[in-house]
Amino acid sequence: MFIYTKHTLEKMDALGIGKDEVETAIKEGMKWKEKGTDKWHAQLAGTEAVFIKRQNDYFLIAVYLAGRSK
């Protein structure tokens, strides 16, 4: 299950990024873990998602256009 924070939903709306793009990036994109944290990043087709994975749940923290300053 994908769980979106209010911040993430607002950022997605502002950038014109849909939930389908975010979820596809997490499922199929390149992923890496931030050293020393529980945060993961996933990137695919210009979308970057920051999330924490707990069992079968993905807690979305932030979404960006890949390659842009955060």
Q: Find all residues with CB under 8 Å of 28, minimum gap 6, and list them.
A: 44
3-state secondary structure at position 54: strand
Q: What is the CATH number of domain 2-65?
A: 3.30.2310.20
pLDDT of residue 55: 92
pLDDT at 69: 58
**Per-domain residue ranges of the chain:** 2-65
Higher pLDDT, 62 or 66: 62
Task: State the pTM of this model.
Answer: 0.88
Rounded Cα–Cα distance for residues 64 and 56 (Å): 23
Strand ranges, E, within the chain = 2-4, 30-33, 39-44, 47-54, 57-65
| DSSP H helix total and E strand total for the chain | 2, 5
